[in-house]
Amino acid sequence: MDNNLTGIAGAMARQAGVSHPADLRGPVTVSAPLRPSAMAAKEALANAIFARLAGHAAGNANDEPFACMIATLCSGGGALPDWLGLEPAAFYCLLNHHFPGFRLERPPCPGRGLDRGRSEERHELVELMLLDKAGDSPSEVWMAYIVAAGCMASDHLWQDLGLWRRADLTTLMRRNFPALAARNVKDMKWKRFLYKQLCEAEGVYACRAPSCEVCTDYHACFGPED
């Protein structure tokens, strides 16, 4: 089977002079400070899970971001709820679609439940994304639910999702929700952009600055997220 994820990551690894594609990953985001030895163990676990997922990748466009998210969640990193914020049945459909034959040793459940008090908010975010989904893959629906679940956390969205770089989030937004992503013409932080879109759809304009460029909160919306 032609493994697109392993092929791309392998080429990058050879250019960078590392022994395995997983060596390219950034540090795993964790929810609380850890001793260096504990953090190293979590990162090693995430790398190992990612490598196993890569070996089963179906060659679909969303294989890599899903592998990152699953590996990070299973190692206790990021901020996504159990099952990536999906129903268990939907999670296993995702797993079988993108990583056929892969079996997790234990459920991806670090003990983080969905905040049921914010269900309506998540639903509105999901609807916003699905209105502009590309229509190329069933995984766009799963991605919308996962991104919406990530928006409920408090750090940068790409970190809360368990991705490795902000650029990975930009890529998946453009791939899965191209018309929506195209409206982010000034590269606003993605979580702020999504909520701004919801507000504008409801006719709510909370920011009173005449333009983003002169707003005193400019860097809160457009500053670096690394």
pLDDT tens, 31-73? 445 556 677 888 899 999 999 999 999 999 999 999 999 999 9
Structural domain containing residue 65: 4-222
**Helix ranges (DSSP H) in 131-189:** 139-150, 157-161, 166-176, 178-182
Give the phi and the psi of residue 166 in degrees, each rounded to 5.
Answer: -60, -35
Burial profile 86-115: b = 16 or more Cβ within 10 angstroms, e = fewer:
beeebbeebbebbbeebeeeeebebebebe
Instruction: Look at the alpha carbons of 23, 160, 115, 87 in this order and tell me if their dihedral is positive or negative.
Output: negative
Give pLDDT, residue 35. 58
Give pLDDT, residue 139. 97
Tokens of 107: 């459920």
Of 78, 141, 74, 80, nearest to 103 by C-alpha is 74
**Crossing angle between the packed helical segments 166-176 and 139-150, to the nearest 10 degrees:** 140
Give pLDDT, residue 42. 86
Contacts of 14 (CB under 8 A, 6+ apart): none
Give pLDDT, residue 186. 86
Give pLDDT, residue 200. 86
Q: List per-block mean pLDDT (blocks of 10 residues) for the chain, which spans 226 residues.
A: 42 34 40 61 92 96 97 96 98 98 94 94 97 96 98 95 94 97 93 92 54 43 54
47 near 19, Cβ under 8 Å? no
Give pLDDT, residue 10. 41
The number of folded domains in the chain is 1
* pTM of the entire predicted model: 0.77
